[in-house]
Homo-oligomer: A and B are copies of this chain.
Amino acid sequence: MSSVLTAGSFEFDPQLKLEEQTCFQVYALSRLLTKAYQPLLTPLDLTYPQYLVLLLLWEHRELTVKDLGQHLLLDSGTLTPLLKRLAQRGLVSRQRDPHDERSVRITLLPAGVALHERARHIPAQSDQQYAKSPAGLAGLRQELKQLIRRLA
The 8 Å CB contact of A4, one of B25, B73, B107, B120, is B107
Residue of B nearest to A138 (CB): B22
Minimum CB–CB distance from A105 to chain B (whole Å) comes to 11
Residue of B nearest to A33 (CB): B23
Flag whether A103 is at the interface (Cβ < 8 A). Answer: no
Instruction: Tell me the A residues contacting B by CB distance below 8 Å.
Output: 4-5, 9-10, 12-13, 15-37, 48, 52, 55-56, 58-59, 61, 71-73, 93, 107-110, 113, 116-117, 119-120, 122-124, 126, 129-130, 133-135, 137, 140-141, 143-148, 150-152
Contacts of A10 in B (CB 8 A): 113, 116-117
Q: Is the CB of A58 within 8 A of B22?
A: no
CB-CB under 8 A for A17 and B73, given A27-B33, A29-B26, A148-B29: no
Complex-state Cα separation, A20 to B137, whole angstroms? 10
CB-CB under 8 A for A33 and B29, given A5-B113, A140-B143: no
Copies of this protein in the assembly total 2
Residue of B nearest to A107 (CB): B4
The 8 Å CB contact of A25, one of B18, B55, B144, B150, is B144
The 8 Å CB contact of A135, one of B5, B33, B143, is B143
Beyond the given A22-B130, A29-B148, please list 10 additional residue pairs across the A-B interface where CB-CB is below 8 A.
Answer: A9-B113, A13-B58, A16-B116, A18-B52, A20-B141, A25-B145, A27-B52, A32-B151, A140-B140, A140-B144
Q: Is the CB of B123 within 8 A of A18?
A: no
